Amino acid sequence: MTTQWRWCISLVLGILALLFTASLATAQGYVDANNLSEAAGMLRAQGVTLGTFEELCAHGFPDRGPVLSRAVVKWKRDHERVIEAADKFVQRMIRSTGRDPTPTLEASLRRLATQQFRSLGIDAQRRYCEQLPAELESGAWDSRTPNVYRFLEEYANEP
């Protein structure tokens, strides 16, 4: 298998792992990245999923929108370095392969996150929207997948 396809498969696996962790914590804990490609895919997927939940919460519970939006902006600012590293890695892979699977993958992520959110009852949706800002601020997302951040920090430090 060529390197071009390996990164794409790792990216897809990373995104699938994130989808799994976003929907349910397994009895053994959260699935974490095993390599840089998975880390980049998982972090980018996390960003898409977070943006989707932010929109759904703001639309369904307008009183929660501003609080969540501030938390998302802060989370992105606090994680700017690893977000940039993930973007840089993915762009490097796209250049090397000449293929960009991200639009299709991101559309699928948005659709799945929306389905997941809408499958909850209205009370559970509200609770989720109320709890998400505190979860972001607490660093819970970081502690669930420490390898994602470790791989991307190491990549950010490379010349």
Indicate the domain borders of the chain: 3-21+31-157
DSSP 35: S
CB 148 within 8 A of CB 85: no
CB 11 within 8 A of CB 36: no
CA pair distance 27, 19, nearest whole angstrom: 16
Looking at per-residue confidence, does 135 or 23 come out higher? 135
* Residue 26, strand partner residues: 29
- Confidence (pLDDT) at 159: 76
Name the pTM for this structure. 0.79
- Confidence (pLDDT) at 2: 56
CA pair distance 102, 118, nearest whole angstrom: 24
Does position 29 have pLDDT exceeding 80, yes or no? no
Binning pLDDT at 50, 70 and 90, where does residue 23 land? Answer: very low
